Amino acid sequence: NRAKMVVDKSYEIGPIDRRIYGSFVEHLGRAVYGGIYEPDHPRADERGFRRDVMDLVKQLNVPVIRYPGGNFVSGYDWEDGVGPREKRPRRLELAWRSIETNQVGTNEFAEWAKSVNSEVMMAINLGTRGIDEARKFIEYCNHPGGSYGSDLRISHGYKEPHRIKTWCLGNEMDGEWQIGHKTAEEYGRLAVEAARAMKQVDPTIELVSCGSSSSSMPTFPQWEVTTLEHTYEEVDYISLHQYYGNRSDDTPSYLAKSLDMDQFIRSVIATCDYVKAKKRSKKTLNLSFDEWNVWYHSNEADRQIEPWSVAPPLLEDVYNFEDALLVGCMLITLLKHADRVKMACLAQLVNVIAPIMTENGGRSWKQTIFYPFLHASVYGRGVALNPVISSPKYDCAEFTDVPYLEATAVHNEENEELTLFAVNRNLDDSLLLECDVRSFEGYQVVEHIVLEHDDLKAVNTADEERVKPHHRGNARLEEGIVNADLAKASWNVIRLR
């Protein structure tokens, strides 16, 4: 049980855009109300935001947060969420069959994002609305003043424009569940015209065209081809969304699902490049993997929830240890595509399929998946390297030739640090990693962080943090080779400096 890896300084994939460590807050369940915002909470600040939650978000070091949806955005009127709070309407929110009180809207969210050192990635409603709303909304958010929309924002107490740079042109418009679902042709036409109007208001923005809702959509990848034939020259990114689950309780197959993610990314890159060739374009389109995570634990519970309540406990997946391993593999997969995946959002951030959980009025805690995301976000900055890996492999029900070792390396030139991220997918045995780092002369191992647990189904709760990392990994460097025992079923972060 030995795996070999060669990491060389000069084998660069490309610079890692820090925005691959983005996340997502949707008006859904208790993400906003009871999550980031709870004015009656003992730790709420003067604006009603929970300080305990802000502290946890800041630990994760999330550079960009997508908002306000998700499926929610396709029925959202942004005007409902601005201006005096007492005048804001309570609406039937159709995507999640809840009541939306609109006590948090664009301005409050932009302020909250600033407090956690994040930028907003704003989504516009291309479900029930279109070009007119898009141009007015961006004027409200980004224009400095002296026009109806910008002066309205100023009258609401926000003199400075929010300067929101990244905008999603709708959400999952290929999905039949989406309010205002469209064919690829319909979406492509609407998106390109909305894009043009928005860029006329603010030419500095970046736009994301809606890709497929998952690799298993029947319209994938024709959706990308048809929509990009319209939007290619006007947008900067295409979106990808993907969630996985272990419904059949087959952990070897479950941990291999990042291979599907890898294939999805490769196919979208190929499709973008096909459209580029067809258009004889000089521009290369990048990818925004703006929804990714594990999502399945809460599906059954959600079916029991009565409709039309405020902030019901929807999509509250309780993550276990094996979920953290898959999240680690997914993060490594994103890093392997750092040359084309420039943004990514862990969906979501608080309470709703989230690394951070809260009790209404009470405590907050870290789910198991908090840790791989934290490590990647904190140590995975710099240049992604392309290691040469040879690992023993296994076959399982859903995949063949799955490497036990899932790994990558990041070189942070500024801090003179090299970080190896590695998952051992073997559930029974440890794996001896031999990693050649001879091009990093003079470097020493500074720590080997490990997330491991005997029980793949172990979870964290407000009372007990069963799954948390330790720093007792045994990575050591001898003559330019890092040797490390990677425990069975483990996430490892080996840091050299």
Chain contacts with ligand AHR (rule: CB under 6 A): 26, 69-71, 171-172, 213, 291, 347-348
Considering the complex, state which of residue 26 and residue 236 has its C-beta at the smaller distance from ligand AHR.
26
Measuring CA to CA, which residue among 355, 275, 287 is closest to residue 23? 355
- Helix axes 370-379 and 321-336, enclosed angle (nearest 10): 30
Cβ neighbors of 261 (< 8 A, separation 6 or more) are 242, 244, 292, 330, 333
Q: Which residue, 70 or 328, is less far from ligand AHR as judged by CB?
A: 70
Task: Look at residue 112 and give its three-state secondary structure.
Answer: helix
Q: What residues have CB less than 8 Å from 266, skipping those under 6 apart?
A: none
Q: Contact 209/238 with Cβ under 8 angstroms?
A: yes
For the bound state, the minimum distance from the C-beta of residue 221 to ligand AHR, rounded and expressed in Å, comes to: 18
Min CB(298)–ligand AHR separation in Å: 11
Cα–Cα dist 326/317, whole Å: 15
Phi-psi region of 188 (alpha: psi -120 to 50; beta: other; left: phi over 0): alpha
CA 63, CA 24: separation in Å to the nearest integer?
A: 11
| Residue (318 or 458) nearer to ligand AHR, CB | 318
Could you tell me the sign of the dihedral formed by the alpha carbons of 248, 243, 271, 229, in that order? positive
Please pick, among 93, 119, 291, 322, the residue that the annotation labels catalytic: 291
| Residue with smaller CB distance to ligand AHR, 71 or 271 | 71
- 291 a catalytic residue: yes
In DSSP notation, 415-444 reads TTEEEEEEEE--SSS-EEEEEE-TTSTT--
- Using CB atoms within 10 A of its CB, is residue 300 exposed (0-12), middle (13-18) or buried (19+)? exposed
SS3 of residue 362 by DSSP: coil
Report the residue number whose CB is nearest to ligand AHR: 70
CB of 78 to ligand AHR, least distance (A): 17
Beta strands (DSSP E) in 305-370 are 341-346, 356-358, 364-366
**Whose Cβ is closer to ligand AHR: residue 118's or residue 214's?**
214
The yes-or-no answer on residue 172 being catalytic is yes
Rank residues 171 and 460 by Cβ distance to ligand AHR and give the closer one: 171
CB 293 within 8 A of CB 327: yes
Which of 70, 221 has the CB closer to ligand AHR?
70
C-beta closer to ligand AHR: residue 71 or 419: 71
Instruction: Let me know if 471 is exposed, middle or buried by CB neighbors in 10 A (0-12, 13-18, 19+).
Output: exposed
Give the nearest distance from C-beta 365 to ligand AHR in angstroms: 21
Output the six-digit token pair for 173: 């418009």
Distance (Å, rounded) from C-alpha 478 to C-alpha 476?
Answer: 7
CA distance 192 to 212: 17
Rounded distance, CA 284 to CA 46, Å?
45
**Minimum distance from CB of 355 to ligand AHR (Å)?**
13
Shortest distance in whole angstroms from residue 144 CB to ligand AHR: 32
Q: Are 242 and 347 in contact (CB under 8 A)?
A: no
Active-site position among 172, 224, 322, 452? 172
Q: How far is the CB of 82 from ligand AHR (least distance, A)?
A: 22
> In the chain, how long is the greatest CA-to-CA distance?
69
Question: Taking the complex as a whole, how short is the minimal distance between the CB of residue 243 and ligand AHR, in angstroms?
Answer: 7
In the bound complex, what is the minimum distance in angstroms from residue 115's beta carbon to ligand AHR?
A: 23
Instruction: Please identify every residue annotated as catalytic.
Output: 172, 291
